[in-house]
């Protein structure tokens, strides 16, 4: 089992940072790519291969997150809520922006940092709203940088932890447990990829406000 992973291990530390950068960058621009999953996978692979510096994927992930977030912020500077509908790949409508908008108004600039760790809150939404809200550039820069570094470091270190201890986990869980983990990873990746649909579904579950009368 996982023989394909063993074949890829010697090569991924060499080219994996480029893949991490591309996926995380596009994810931060709103494309439905599994940014968190690629970071976890990179950490896992680096942990399994014990080759290359762990700082390479962390730097790639943090830089991609920071640059992508900054691009989204400046997009927000030039757009209003209705203008978002013209950007096809975002799949955002004013209705779907309601609860993220309320979250930003409640927590302020901290949302830029917090959103990176909320599965149903794509980072692009927080960064777009930060731009629309006319949040100052220096304030956004600080939270975006801190969030990007924490985001990439956390996910890669978690993946690395399990990669280094994979033989122990394999011995304890056996084949059934390993397949269960792989299924869980696939489901998480699908959840991230279809996060926009989940967000819309989540919004539909929220009770509608009754108009006064």
Our measurement of the distance from residue 163's CA atom to the centroid of its chain's CA atoms, rounded to an integer in Å, reads 20
Q: Where are the beta strands (DSSP E) in the chain?
A: none
Say if residue 178's pLDDT is above 50: yes
In this prediction, residue 50 carries a pLDDT of 65
Task: Please compute Rg for the chain using Cα positions.
Answer: 19
Interval 135-153 mean pLDDT: 94
Report how far apart the first and last C-alpha atoms of the chain are (Å, whole number): 64
Q: In terms of residue numbers, what domain contains 68?
A: 3-205
Tell whether 95 is covered by a domain: yes
Statement: residue 118 has pLDDT above 90 = no
- Cβ(156)–Cβ(61) under 8 Å? yes
Among 176, 154, 172, residue whose Cα is nearest residue 35? 154
Residue among 68, 8, 4 nearest 42 (CA): 8
Q: Is residue 133 part of a domain?
A: yes
Residue 212 resides in a domain: no
Q: What predicted TM-score, i.e. pTM, was given to this entire model?
A: 0.72
Q: Is residue 213 domain-resident? A: no
**Residue 210 domain-assigned?**
no
Per-residue pLDDT of 43-60, as tens digits, reads 888 887 766 678 888 999
**pLDDT tens digit sequence for 56-109:** 889 999 999 999 999 999 988 887 666 666 666 666 666 667 777 788 888 888
Please tell me the predicted confidence (pLDDT) of residue 198: 47
CA–CA gap between residue 129 and residue 26 (Å, rounded): 18
211 inside domain: no
Task: Identify whether 131 is part of a domain.
Answer: yes
Q: How many domains does the chain have?
A: 1
Query: What pLDDT, in 10s, does the model give residues 15-51?
Result: 678 888 998 999 998 887 888 888 988 888 888 776 6
């Amino acid at each position: 089992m996982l023989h394909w992973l063993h074949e890829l291990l010697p090569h991924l530390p060499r080219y994996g940072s480029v893949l991490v950068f591309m996926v995380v960058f596009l994810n931060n621009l709103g494309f439905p790519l599994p940014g968190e999953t690629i970071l976890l996978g990179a950490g896992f692979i680096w942990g399994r291969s014990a080759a290359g510096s762990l700082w390479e994927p962390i730097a790639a992930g943090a830089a991609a997150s920071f640059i992508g977030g900054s691009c989204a912020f400046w997009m927000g500077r030039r757009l209003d809520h209705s203008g978002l509908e013209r950007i096809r790949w975002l799949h955002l409508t004013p209705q779907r922006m309601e609860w993220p908008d309320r979250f930003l108004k409640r927590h302020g600039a901290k949302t830029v940092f917090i959103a990176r760790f909320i599965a149903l809150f794509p980072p692009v939404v927080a960064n777009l709203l930060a731009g629309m809200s006319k949040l100052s550039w220096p304030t956004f820069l600080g939270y975006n940088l801190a969030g990007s570094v924490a985001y990439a470091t956390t996910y890669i270190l978690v993946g690395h932890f399990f990669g280094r201890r994979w033989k122990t986990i394999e011995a304890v869980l056996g084949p059934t447990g390993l397949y269960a983990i792989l299924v869980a990873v696939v489901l998480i990746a699908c959840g991230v990829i279809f996060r926009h649909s989940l967000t819309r579904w989540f919004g539909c579950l929220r009770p509608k406000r009754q108009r006064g009368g």
